[in-house]
Chains A and B, each alone.
Chain A
Amino acid sequence: MTPDLTDVSSPQPPYDLNDTSIRLRLDPAPDCHVLLVDDDVLVRAKLTALLTRAGYTVHLAGSGREALQALTTSPCQIVLTDWQMPDMDGLSLCRALRQRDSEGYVYVLLLTVRDSSEDIVRGLAAGADDYIVKGARAEELIARLEVGKRITRLEQSLRMSNRENHRLSVTDPLTGARNRRFLMKHLPREHEIARRRGQSLAILGCDIDGFKLINDTFGHEAGDDVLRIFVQRASSCLRLSRDWIARSGGEEFVVVLPDTGLPGASTVANKLRTSFSGSHIVTGAGLVKATISIGVAVVENVHGRETLSVGDLLRAADRCLYASKTLGRDRVTAAPTGCVDADMSGPPARGSHEIN
């Protein structure tokens, strides 16, 4: 399934190489698909021959309803439609297309024998982009289709550009993880989704141990390598479709695990810890051994009970992370749900436990 970066309900990791914008950029001149809608089989046959020769990929429908059905299985950039047809006419098709929630813009060209000024106005008002009277020269029809092709290509290019800009605005350029802006916007959404569905939500507060020392000893470039490798190794421990990771500060990260309770979150945290510290990191300055401390906090949602706020959750994870640091680093500390309290200034609450 194509990941949608605008879908806030299921944020995808930014380092997903299946990103549509990347795939589209690799295809410089995709085919232009035209859906030809006419109830006359001979008209369809003749126009198909003409359009195919002009380089278009042609799909066929015999009515507006068939056209709508065809577009769900074969997306087309251009719809070339007759006006008067059984079942659903061309104007109704135009209106239905404009009300439809589709990813790309569909350029509609009405091709009809109706040639009065009133008809042209009605056609364009219904949502057609252009209007051509049947019997016009083939060259004119092709020229108008080329206009549609240019416009849909431009729209596609703008859409890709917007998507890329959006991706960059929520991505940490160094590591490819989500950035703090994304975290602060989407964690509350994950929290709300979990509350509505009565699901658990876990977060892992992660901090690379002795990162300043790594920078001081091996240099900042090596430090950057360590951050990048952390995200790579952490990502391999997560569910690509649901979990995500954000860089919340210099060497601090937050991993968000929707629909995950304490046992699952603890398992992921330990897997992540061992994955990161299990082998040396190759940097430009040589091999670096690094470890990570993790604090786990979980909100267990039960319908009808008031749940913890996002702030409480973050503070709980931070507090457990602090506990992991003070207990000797390279470890995971979790706060059971019932032990999370509002006062996060002191030492870990009783009940917090090391789960290495």
Chain B
Amino acid sequence: MKSIDPSQKPVPSWMDGRMQDLCRTFHIRLRGDRSCLVALGEALACIEGDPASAFEELRLRAHKLRGTAAIFEIAELRDAARALEMAAATAAMAHARGTDVQVRASLEALLCVLARADEPAPGISPLASPT
């Protein structure tokens, strides 16, 4: 499986130690994002009324994750976040239920990508020893 560890990307000429530190910090932050998305997904499944506000929160989180992933050049994460952002927006407009298939599938896909970010890449463990 391909790692999404940003520190494994080829280092452009302008990226120095400072940039790598930032990448590691971002990598650590993804853990919190994953926990938050899991909680949001669980809450969404329990909502009995119109979950529009929950969809909107999901959309905003996905949007922010998409932007940061783009800046840190993690295309897989950016695309997965984009898919969830779009699905949540569509579901909110359609007044879909909290169990909306597209939203659940996009959320699961994004959580999978985030889970992989937690797996240490061979030979390097940025999460275990962040600088």
Binding site for B on A (CB under 8 A): 39-40, 42-43, 45-47, 49-50, 53-54, 82, 84, 112-113, 133-135, 138
Note all chain A residues with C-beta closer than 8 A to B95.
Answer: none
List which B55-102 residues lie within 8 A (CB) of chain A. 60, 63-64, 66-68, 70-73, 75, 78, 82
| Interface of B: prevailing SS | helix
Note all chain B residues with C-beta closer than 8 A to A138.
Answer: 12, 14
Choose among B18, B29, B63, B78 the residue that contacts A84 (Cβ–Cβ < 8 A).
B63
Contact A135 B26, beta carbon cutoff 8 Å: no
Note all chain A residues with C-beta closer than 8 A to B60.
Answer: 84
Note all chain B residues with C-beta closer than 8 A to A53.
Answer: 14
Contact A82 B67, beta carbon cutoff 8 Å: yes
Note all chain B residues with C-beta closer than 8 A to A82.
Answer: 67
B22 on the A face (CB < 8 A): yes
B72 nearest in chain A by CB position = A46
B45 on the A face (CB < 8 A): no
Contact A43 B67, beta carbon cutoff 8 Å: yes
Interface size class of B (residues with CB under 8 A): 20 to 34
Q: How far is the CA of A39 from the CA of B60 in the complex (A)?
A: 13
Q: How far is the CA of A43 from the CA of B70 in the complex (A)?
A: 10
B25 nearest in chain A by CB position = A42
Q: How far is the CA of A344 from the CA of B25 in the complex (A)?
A: 84
Contact A134 B26, beta carbon cutoff 8 Å: no
B36 on the A face (CB < 8 A): no
Contact A134 B71, beta carbon cutoff 8 Å: yes
B47 on the A face (CB < 8 A): no
Q: How far is the CA of A53 from the CA of B14 in the complex (A)?
A: 8
B19 on the A face (CB < 8 A): yes
Note all chain B residues with C-beta closer than 8 A to A84.
Answer: 60, 63-64, 67
* Cβ distance A201 to chain B, nearest Cβ, rounded Å: 60
A142 nearest in chain B by CB position = B14
Contact B67 A46, beta carbon cutoff 8 Å: no
* Cβ distance B59 to chain A, nearest Cβ, rounded Å: 10
A–B complex contacts, Cβ < 8 Å, 25 sampled: A40-B64, A40-B68, A42-B22, A42-B68, A42-B72, A43-B71, A46-B71, A46-B72, A49-B18, A49-B22, A54-B14, A82-B67, A84-B64, A84-B67, A112-B67, A113-B66, A113-B70, A113-B78, A113-B82, A133-B70, A134-B70, A134-B71, A135-B71, A135-B78, A138-B14
